[in-house]
Structure 1
């Protein structure tokens, strides 16, 4: 699975072959074929990766933090900063593209984003308990695509929209302004 992930990052799904997986894993081609088709290997790799991300979310649960507002911003910053890594910024666009034609991968994406949504909603409610359900859904429903869409401009391998602005700072600025506005209404 590690070899599949490394190849998804380095050459992408379209150029990844069973032979390349075998070479990357330093095993015989027959050994790789024993684990199924290329698509089955990719699906297993993606599900394993998403399990890892979910464990990361759980480990970062700051719901009992002294300052729940700051904890929420710290969690958002963690996600955005991770998106700037070469691994994540190359892997997720590949996974999104595969999800368009592979129901198993789309199901795994849906599972991951539902966990992310629930996790962020819980932390948002801790910091801003006066927000009603509609406001929470609106904020998180805007925040997740904003965060995930940022990967398309992640500076690890693409030109940044604004070199001098850190994406995490921009997203947190928007969040803070939105939440301050909602608190004042």
Structure 2
């Protein structure tokens, strides 16, 4: 799902920027972020370094637009689910989670996001970009939680959306592309979606706050 092929024509400058983004993404996925230098990207694109810096003055500029392209691709898919006429909120939650969990098994997603997670531990610029990306990625989850649980406060809805998002992303290292439990991902997916839907429908504000009756 990351940066799908786009339909329609391009102006020359747009076509070049698209080439640069796809090349940078390919290097990051296949070789890691450290290999994604500006000179490496320029060479892989078959262009001079100066031509690359005409479009992107620094690697930070390139990373910023690359991540913007990535999250836009997801937002298009999320919007298609969110705006399905007549589909109940719980079913949209199921479809949204299915989309994310299926995508985790792709090579692009399994390689791309853990690379960013690792880098964000010591690169403040990447950390900020990653946090921005996930705020936007959680937005549709938050909207569905609000539909299903209008009785919960804003903070409670946000923590539920965060929990669901974090739980799904955490499966990447165990059941992503070529990971040990990838063959079990269909089972994990069914368990996860059932659990998320039940959680959102039944958890109380007191339980979220830790004030519920203890067994």
Q: Which has the larger radius of gyration?
A: 2
User: In the alignment, which residue of structure 2 is the partner of 1:31?
Assistant: 51
User: In the alignment, which residue of structure 2 is the partner of 1:4?
Assistant: 24
Computed over aligned residues only, the root mean square deviation of the Cα atoms, in angstroms, reads 2.8
User: In the alignment, which residue of structure 2 is the partner of 1:160?
Assistant: 181
Task: Tell me: CA distance 1:61–1:164, structure 2 relative to 1, closer, same or farther (3 Å).
Answer: closer
Counterpart of 2:147 (choices 120, 123, 126) is 126
User: In the alignment, which residue of structure 1 is the partner of 2:113?
Assistant: 92
- For normalisation by structure 2, the TM-score amounts to 0.71
1:82 aligns with 2:103: yes
User: In the alignment, which residue of structure 1 is the partner of 2:88?
Assistant: 67
Q: Could you say what secondary structure the match of 1:60 adopts?
A: helix
Structure-1 separation of matches of 2:151 and 2:166: 24
Deviation at 1:16, TM superposition (A): 2.6
Structure-2 separation of matches of 1:47 and 1:105: 12
Tell me the alpha carbon deviations over residues 87-116 of structure 1, each in whole angstroms, 9 at most, x when there is no partner.
111111112223233333322222222223
Deviation at 1:74, TM superposition (A): 0.9
Deviation at 1:75, TM superposition (A): 0.9
Judge conservation of contact 2:93–2:197 (CA < 8 Å) in 1: no
Judge conservation of contact 1:69–1:128 (CA < 8 Å) in 2: no
Judge conservation of contact 1:125–1:136 (CA < 8 Å) in 2: yes
User: In the alignment, which residue of structure 1 is the partner of 2:11?
Assistant: none
Counterpart of 2:192 (choices 142, 163, 171) is 171
Structure-2 separation of matches of 1:40 and 1:23: 18
Structure-2 separation of matches of 1:23 and 1:63: 44
Judge conservation of contact 1:84–1:155 (CA < 8 Å) in 2: yes
- For normalisation by structure 1, the TM-score amounts to 0.81
Matched residue pairs, number?
Answer: 184
Structure 1's unaligned 5+ residue stretches are none
